[in-house]
Amino acid sequence: MPRHFVQELDVLKTNIIKMGSSAEEGVREAIHALLERKPDVARGVLEREERLNALEVEIDQQVADLLALQQPVASDLRFILAALKINSDLERIGDHAVNIAESAIQYASGAPLPVHVDIPRMARIAQTMLRTAIDGFIHRDATLARPVLTDDDAIDDLNRKVLVDLVGQIRSHPESVEQSLELIRVSRNLERIADLATNIAEDVIYMAEAQVVKHNFERKS
Residues that bind a second copy (CB under 8 A): 60, 63-64, 67-68, 71-74, 77-78, 81, 84-85, 88, 163, 167, 170-171, 174-175, 177-178, 181, 184, 188
The amino acid sitting at 178 is E
Longest CA–CA separation in the chain, Å: 67
**Least gap, CB of 105 to a second copy (angstroms):** 15
**Least gap, CB of 36 to a second copy (angstroms):** 26
**Least gap, CB of 12 to a second copy (angstroms):** 15
Phi, psi of 37 (to 5 degrees): 55, 60
Q: Which is nearer to a second copy, 88 or 128 (CB)?
A: 88
Q: What are the distances in angstroms from CA 124 to CA 24, 155, 158, 194?
A: 11, 10, 12, 10
Nearest partner of 138 among 55, 31, 219, judged by Cα: 219
**Least gap, CB of 137 to a second copy (angstroms):** 17
Q: Which is nearer to a second copy, 67 or 115 (CB)?
A: 67
Q: Which is nearer to a second copy, 4 or 171 (CB)?
A: 171
Nearest partner of 108 among 31, 27, 179, judged by Cα: 179
